[in-house]
């Protein structure tokens, strides 16, 4: 491999000749484990958005000339188009402020910009990082990437799932089946009513995330190193936030208290708490579906789900609820991520939280997992659900809890006696009521009608 010599404040270092990064990126690669957990690209794209907005704001304040502004914008657009992805190699497990990733972006923009301009026009610190610090750019990038990924990936996946659930609910609103509480038989319910709960879970989960996400709109940018705004011109914070809002189409603003914005990451714990709430409901929905589809002959077997692949390497013909399993595993991972984010958010010592990369990594992983697995779950499972009406009717007819409808006519104690006698003698409720002399057959038929119980 060919190398070139780069210099920074610590001296010279060899960098691969084809790499756009510079000395500080290279030092990070040599000083930290190069694990599989790379800094998520949404963070890089968010930093590119910040650099573009900052160049525009610095140009408006007269600090940055139009030639440098334009070349910074050009390179940022290349980054945002995904053309330079291979030049951002750093691991999550680096400095807790994200400084090395900020400098990675600064160096790539400077070196690529100088290549495009044919002269040494840009310095990574003096021009690309003008009016900024890693301490305010990285937390701002966290906010931007979180909101962008939720809006761009998670919410569309939830919307897709809600459309399918609404269709299933409508189609099955008159299909009566037995309800279940405590995993025991309960009074009847329609399959559509059961699905309506799943639909509401997704809807309320989305609403909770959307409401919590407003805490991520205020940006730390303009606070520079410790929140005082040192080396940033007056109005930079407001103007850069305005530009970011325009570039993203999202209502970002400047944080009214930069000291808080740099050190507190409670907003991420709060928003991720809403993601955890959604994952809890995803777990419930997936578990309901795999219980209801269990069998096919020795389980509940009340619904059919798509058969996507063989389920066993040894048992021929076995098919498993694999989409349910993928979604529930993702939910477990999100719950684990929530613990990591909560611990990391508690570590905002003095003027800076230095657990930001792990917060960003876990948060974005949760968003991506929920978006991707729920999208596949919708297309590979939900869309193909069909009720097994015969099995539902069979289970309903055997349910002892139909006896609940007798309470107003016989009283609770006599109704309980009918149910207990039917269970012990393995006979129907009707046979039990008649044999005990509590009701006639005609009275039973008049009182017990599942249609009237839902």
Tens-place pLDDT, residues 68-101? 999 999 999 999 999 999 999 999 999 999 999 9
**pLDDT grade for 126, boundaries at 50, 70 and 90:** very high
CB distance 327 to 286 below 8 Å: yes
| Percentage of the chain lying above the pLDDT 90 cut | 99
Q: Which pLDDT score, from 0 to 100, does residue 193 have?
A: 98
**pLDDT grade for 156, boundaries at 50, 70 and 90:** very high
Q: 312 catalytic, yes or no? A: yes
pTM across the whole model: 0.96
**pLDDT grade for 247, boundaries at 50, 70 and 90:** very high
Q: Which pLDDT score, from 0 to 100, does residue 1 have?
A: 83
Domains of the chain with bracketed CATH: 3-130 (1.10.275.10), 136-219+257-389 (1.20.200.10), 399-453 (1.10.40.30)
Secondary structure of the chain as H, E, C letters = CCEEEEEECCEEEEEECCCCCCHHHHHHHHHCCCCCCECCHHHHHHHHHHHHHHHHHHHHCCCCCHHHHHHHHHHHHHHHCCCCHHHCCCECCCCCCCHHHHHHHHHHHHHHHHHHHCCCCCCHHHHHCCCCCHHHHHHHHHHHHHHHHHHHHHHHHHHHHHHHHHHHHHHCCCCEEEEEECCEEEEEEEHHHHHHHHHHHHHHHHHHHHHHHHHHCEECCCCCCCCCCCCCCCCHHHHHHHHHHHHHCCCCEECCCHHHHHHCCHHHHHHHHHHHHHHHHHHHHHHHHHHHCCCCCCCCCCEECCCCCCCCCCCCCCCCCHHHHHHHHHHHHHHHHHHHHHHHHCCCCCCCCCCHHHHHHHHHHHHHHHHHHHHHHHHHCHHHCEECHHHHHHHHHHCHHHHHHHHHHHCHHHHHHHHHHHHHHCCCHHHHHHHCCCCCHHHHHHHCCHHHHC
Q: Residue range 131-155: average pLDDT?
A: 98
Of 273, 146, 269, 149, nearest to 208 (Cα)?
273
Sign of CA dihedral 133, 138, 139, 144: positive
> What tens digit of pLDDT does each residue of 330-381 get?
999 999 999 999 999 999 999 999 999 999 999 999 999 999 999 999 999 9
Selecting among 17, 174, 312, 339, the annotated active-site residue is 312
| Percentage of the chain lying above the pLDDT 70 cut | 100
- Mean pLDDT score across all residues of the chain: 97
Q: Which pLDDT score, from 0 to 100, does residue 414 have?
A: 96
Report in angstroms the alpha-carbon separations of 143 from 2, 45, 233, 352, 391.
38, 12, 23, 15, 50
Of the listed ranges 32-36, 194-198, 364-368, 387-391, the one predicted with least confidence = 32-36
How far is residue 328's CA from residue 99's CA, in Å, rounded to a whole number?
35
Distance spanning both ends of the chain, measured CA to CA: 73
Selecting among 9, 35, 66, 182, the annotated active-site residue is 182
The residue count for the chain: 454
Q: 409 catalytic, yes or no? A: no
Q: Residue 34 above 90 pLDDT?
A: no
Q: Residue range 199-206: average pLDDT?
A: 98
- Look at the block and give the residue holding tokens 């107003």: 408
- Which value, in Å, is the radius of gyration of the alpha carbons in the chain? 30
């Amino acid at each position: 491999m060919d190398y070139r010599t780069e210099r920074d404040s610590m001296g010279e270092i060899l960098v691969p000749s084809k790499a756009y990064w510079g000395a500080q990126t290279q030092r990070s690669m040599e000083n930290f484990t190069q694990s599989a957990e790379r800094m998520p690209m949404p963070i890089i794209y968010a930093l590119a958005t910040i650099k573009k907005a900052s160049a525009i704001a610095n140009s408006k304040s007269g600090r940055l000339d139009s030639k440098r502004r334009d070349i910074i914008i050009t390179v940022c657009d290349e980054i945002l188009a995904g053309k330079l992805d291979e030049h951002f190699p750093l691991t999550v497990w680096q400095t807790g402020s994200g400084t090395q990733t900020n400098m990675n972006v600064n160096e790539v923009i400077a070196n690529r910009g100088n290549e495009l301009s044919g002269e040494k026009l840009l310095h990574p610190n003096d021009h690309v990082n003008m009016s900024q610090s890693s301490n305010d750019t990285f937390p701002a990038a966290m906010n931007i990437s979180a909101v962008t990924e939720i809006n761009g990936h998670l919410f569309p996946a939830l919307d897709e799932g809600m459309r399918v659930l609404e269709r299933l609910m409508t189609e099955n609103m008159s299909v009566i089946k037995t309800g279940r509480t405590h995993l025991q038989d309960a009074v009847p319910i329609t399959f559509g009513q059961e699905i309506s709960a799943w639909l509401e879970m997704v809807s309320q989960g989305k609403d909770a995330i959307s409401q919590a996400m407003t805490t991520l709109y205020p940006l730390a940018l303009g606070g520079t190193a410790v929140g005082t705004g040192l080396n940033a011109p007056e109005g930079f914070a407001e103007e850069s936030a305005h530009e970011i809002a325009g570039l993203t189409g999202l209502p970002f603003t400047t944080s009214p208290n930069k000291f808080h914005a740099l050190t507190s990451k409670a907003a991420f714990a709060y928003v991720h708490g809403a993601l955890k709430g959604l994952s809890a409901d995803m777990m419930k929905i997936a578990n309901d579906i795999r219980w209801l589809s269990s069998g096919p002959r020795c389980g509940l077997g009340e619904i059919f789900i798509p058969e996507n692949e063989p389920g066993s390497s040894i048992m021929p013909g076995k098919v498993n609820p694999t989409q349910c399993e993928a979604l529930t595993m993702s939910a477990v991972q999100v719950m684990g991520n929530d613990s990591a984010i909560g611990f990391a958010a508690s570590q905002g010592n003095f003027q800076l939280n230095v657990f930001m990369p792990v917060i960003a990594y876990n948060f974005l992983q949760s968003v991506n997992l929920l978006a991707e697995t729920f999208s596949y779950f919708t297309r590979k499972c939900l869309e193909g659900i069909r009720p097994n009406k015969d099995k539902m009717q069979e289970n309903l007819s055997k349910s002892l809890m139909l006896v609940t409808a007798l309470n107003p006519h016989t009283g609770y104690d006599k109704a309980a006696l009918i149910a207990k006698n039917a269970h012990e003698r393995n006979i129907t409720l009707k046979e039990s009521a008649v044999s005990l002399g509590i009701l006639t057959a005609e009275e039973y038929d008049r009182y017990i009608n599942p249609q009237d119980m839902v």
